[in-house]
Amino acid sequence: MSARHFLSLDDLGASGIDSVIASAIARKREAPTDRPLLGRTLAMMFEKSSTRTRVSFEAGMTRLGGHAIFLSPGDTQIGRGEPVEDTARVLSGMCDAVMVRNHSHAVLEQFAAYASVPVINGLTDRLHPCQLLADLQTYVEHRGDIRGRTVAWIGDGNNMCHSYINAARLLGFHLRIAAPEGYAPDDSLVRAAGDQVSIYDKAQQAADGADLVVTDVWASMGDEQSREARLADFANFQVNKALMSWAAPDALFMHCLPAHRGEEVSAEVIDGPASVVWDEAENRLHAQMALLLHLLEAGA
Ligand code: CP
Ligand code: NVA
């Protein structure tokens, strides 16, 4: 199958990321009223909860003149055991692209192998590349090119952290990761990023002089059973005013949301002057509209 997928940032590469972000910024500013995806349909399969991903893809398809269909396991034959390979082939015959949010990245890859239309990763246990497009767009809008800058990742070495590692490798910014023992990111991704990624034990070491400080929930979807243990394990990894004071004076704060104030971030940081989380959330819409246009070759 030769469809262009977006399962990880590597599927776009550095030039593709740059072009999608430039297109997102331009279309956000110009707000064109063309309908380049008129008559096109995006199927959206969600195995996990979502606010931003669902609404941004659905609203984005509406703005582009197309249509989005929300599918959940409870309402489809997938939930009753229909094989992913069969579902991929059936949806490919009816829709122009498929967005998938599921538990297993391996299953997403299996789905994509059988799909003849573009498949978009809307978050798996391993990666969350759509969020990175929005984060990178937000950084560019506020501070310009992220190349050569220093980003601090504070907290879990999870799907978001993995996508930051890939972005650091592809775009050439320095990522400093501080995670508690036992919560380090995937070693193969870290090694592939070479000098672009450094791992620290203490949050202060990672935040020192950083241009951007990023965190995420301490217990991702699927980690609920270990939530109590994680609250204790991550206690020294909260992004608060004291930690932000280590960062550069004009450092930005990002969080993919949903956030837990008082856990991974203090209210004074997420609701304070360094925080750009609302722009970051809105940019899910703009970045993904540009991504859809890029994948469907309908402009951009
Ligand atoms: N950031 C993000 O992906 O949010 P949702 O889980 O609400 O889609
Ligand atoms: N790491 C989080 C991101 C949510 C958008 C999770 O996987 O639940």
Q: Is 162 a catalytic residue?
A: no
The single residue of 126, 162, 169, 284 carrying the catalytic annotation is 284
Residue 1 has pLDDT above 80, yes or no: no
Residue 2 has pLDDT above 80, yes or no: no
Quote the domain boundaries for residue 136. 131-280
For the Cβ of 50 lying below 6 angstroms from any atom of ligand 1, the answer is yes
pLDDT tens figures, 232-286: 999 999 999 999 999 999 999 999 999 999 999 999 999 999 999 999 999 999 9
Ligand nearest to the CA of 255: 1
Q: Atom 3, ligand 2: which residue's CA is nearest?
A: 220
Is 2 inside any structural domain?
no
Q: Exposed, middle or buried by CB within 10 Å (0-12, 13-18, 19+), for 35?
A: middle
Looking at the predicted structure, is the pLDDT value of residue 300 above 60? no
Q: Is the pLDDT of residue 198 over 60?
A: yes
Q: Collapsing DSSP states into helix, strand and coil, what is residue 168?
A: helix
Q: How far is the CA of 128 from the centre of ligand 1 (A)?
A: 9
Better-predicted residue by pLDDT, 300 or 54: 54
Q: Which of 27, 40, 101, 149 is catalytic?
A: 101
Q: What is the DSSP string of 73-95?
A: GGGSGGGGT--HHHHHHHHHHH-
Q: Is residue 145 part of a domain?
A: yes
Does any domain span residue 82? yes
**Quick one: 156 and 260 in the same domain?**
yes
CB contact set of 86 (below 8 Å; sequence gap of 6+):
none
Q: Is 49 left (phi over 0), alpha (psi -120 to 50) or beta?
A: beta
Are 110 and 150 part of one and the same domain? no
Residue 39's pLDDT is what? Answer: 97
Residues with CB under 6 A from ligand 2: 123, 128, 158-160, 216-217, 220-221, 256
pTM of this structure: 0.97
Residues 276 and 135 in one domain: yes
Mean residue pLDDT of the chain comes to 97
